[in-house]
């Protein structure tokens, strides 16, 4: 079993590693401190079984990072990890394909229980919001998740760079493609997300970003 710990806080990665070693002592652990490091690791290790992904790590843009990981590696389970553990955020994460949602407020015992649950292919939710998450599914969350799921992996990368504030030429340089290719991707992205331009896309993207401290 191979597990990637993707979080920009070294102390929390250490806590996660301790919980993983106690729960699955034979698991191979890898770590990433940025979203790009996580992407490179998964590109080199497609046999990874589980990613524990920080909602607010650099480059992930909240749930865009989750949707991107699911688009690029649909066979790899992704559980979100965050201090932002309100019911609305968790529902959106589940709609976007999260295998579970682990609160950074959890102690080592709860972390261990969460890991055992996810590794057993069951969905883990923080106990203090479990009832509210289960009781109030939001059709809008499912609709947005379906739109994101319709994007290709490359379109997800373009969308992430739009969220970074990059212009078309900068995106083309970053992805080593022609600018007209970026424009074609954006046309398709806007159509599938149901927006007309970058401004409307930006409003939509902000709903996927974690609040401060997430």
Q: pLDDT tens across 112-167, in order?
A: 999 999 999 999 999 988 888 876 667 877 888 888 888 998 999 898 888 888 99
Instruction: Determine phi and psi for 51, rounding to 5 degrees.
Output: -115, 130
Structure tokens at 121: 């292919």
Q: What is the mean pLDDT of residues 63-73?
A: 89
Instruction: Determine phi and psi for 43, rounding to 5 degrees.
Output: -65, -35
Q: pLDDT tens across 163-173, in order?
A: 888 999 999 99
Nearest to 23 by CA among 109, 106, 97: 109
CA dihedral 169, 174, 180, 185 (to 10 degrees): -120
Q: What is the pLDDT of residue 210?
A: 66
Please state, in angstroms and rounded to a whole number, the distance separating the CA atoms of residues 143 and 149.
Answer: 10
Q: What is the mean pLDDT of residues 164-184?
A: 94
3-state secondary structure of 165: coil
Nearest to 54 by CA among 76, 82, 27, 29: 82
Residues forming beta bridges with residue 112, ordered by sequence position: none
By mean pLDDT, which of 16-20, 110-114, 207-211 is the weakest? 207-211
Return mean pLDDT, the chain.
Answer: 89
CB 27 within 8 A of CB 2: yes
Q: What is the pLDDT of residue 108?
A: 84
Q: The pTM is what?
A: 0.84
Residues in contact with 74: Cβ distance below 8 Å, sequence separation at least 6, in sequence order: none
- Rounded percentage of the chain residues whose pLDDT exceeds 70: 96
Q: How confident is the model at residue 214 (pLDDT cuts 50, 70, 90)?
A: very low
By mean pLDDT, which of 10-19, 154-163, 164-173, 198-207 is the weakest? 198-207
Q: What is the pLDDT of residue 213?
A: 45
Q: What is the pLDDT of residue 86?
A: 86
Q: What is the mean pLDDT of residues 58-67?
A: 85
Read off the DSSP letter of residue 174.
H
The helix-helix angle for 168-175 and 179-193 (nearest 10°) equals 110
| Dihedral sign, Cα of residue 140, residue 146, residue 149, residue 152 | negative
């Amino acid at each position: 079993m191979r597990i990637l710990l993707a979080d920009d806080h070294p102390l929390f990665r250490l806590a996660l590693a301790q919980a993983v070693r106690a729960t699955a002592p034979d698991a191979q652990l890898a770590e990433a401190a940025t979203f790009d490091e996580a992407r490179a690791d998964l590109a080199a290790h497609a046999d990874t079984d589980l990613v524990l992904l920080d909602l607010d790590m650099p480059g992930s843009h909240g749930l865009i990072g989750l949707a991107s990981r699911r688009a690029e590696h649909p066979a790899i389970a992704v559980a979100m990890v965050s201090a932002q553990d309100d019911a609305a955020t968790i529902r959106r994460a589940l709609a976007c394909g999260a295998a579970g949602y682990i609160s950074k407020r959890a102690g080592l015992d709860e972390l261990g229980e969460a890991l055992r649950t996810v590794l057993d292919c069951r969905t883990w939710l923080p106990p203090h919001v479990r009832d509210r998450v289960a009781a109030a599914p939001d059709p809008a969350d499912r609709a947005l998740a379906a739109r994101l799921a319709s994007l290709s992996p490359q379109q997800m990368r373009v969308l992430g760079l739009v969220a970074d504030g990059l212009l078309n030429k900068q995106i083309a340089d970053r992805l080593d493609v022609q600018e007209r290719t970026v424009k074609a991707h954006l046309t398709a992205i806007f159509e599938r997300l149901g927006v007309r331009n970058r401004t409307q896309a930006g409003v939509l993207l902000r709903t996927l970003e974690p609040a401060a401290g997430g």
